Amino acid sequence: MKESAQAALSYIRSRGHHFKLPEDIFSEIDIHLHVPAGAIPKDGPSAGITLASALTSALTNIPVRHNVAMTGEVTLRGRVLPVGGLKEKILAARREKLSRVILPKRNQKDFEDIPKHLLRGMQFIFAETVDDVLHAALSSIKFKPSSRAQGASNLP
């Protein structure tokens, strides 16, 4: 989890000018992330794009959409890497009545293994970069996602 948070923060720092963050913001503030384990196991790498979205939201004061679930590992260069346990994660989003799910584009092939009735009524956005994720997750963002982004998909 620590590496995911550090990768997310490094990426946001490198893109601060796109978010209109003050140049000295990271020398003016301290960021401390605490993710208590409690009774819920957490898979660190899968939380990368979620941590990047939360940090960007906190630093820009742009809220994350209320109906979004997301999972994906993030690299220092902002690429979104595939994750495991897709079926369980989609089930969790459905259980919480979240209608928009952001997933790594490289996980799109894994949809063949998921029963179609679990996918109905949900919007899936397949992201290649953190910019793609932020564009889909934040309620208003002032930059364009990468040109490689695949738009939203409403699966049957």
pLDDT in tens, 38-54: 555 555 668 889 999 99
Rounded CA-CA distance 16/74 in Å is: 17
Q: For residue 134, what is the DSSP state?
A: H
Q: Which entry of 4, 53, 89, 105 is annotated as an active-site residue?
A: 89
Q: Is 42 left (phi over 0), alpha (psi -120 to 50) or beta?
A: beta
- With a cut of 60, say whether residue 151 has pLDDT above it: no
Q: What is the pLDDT of residues 51-65, one digit of tens each?
A: 999 999 999 999 999
Domain of 6, in residue numbers:
2-154
Q: What is the number of domains present in the chain?
A: 1
Would you state the pLDDT for residue 37? 66
In this structure, what token pair is assigned to residue 58? 């906190």
Would you state the pLDDT for residue 156? 40
Answer yes or no: 142 catalytic: no
CATH number where 10 lies:
3.30.230.10
pTM given for the model: 0.82
Rounded CA-CA distance 32/58 in Å is: 12
Q: Which entry of 46, 53, 57, 105 is annotated as an active-site residue?
A: 46
More confident residue, 18 or 103: 103
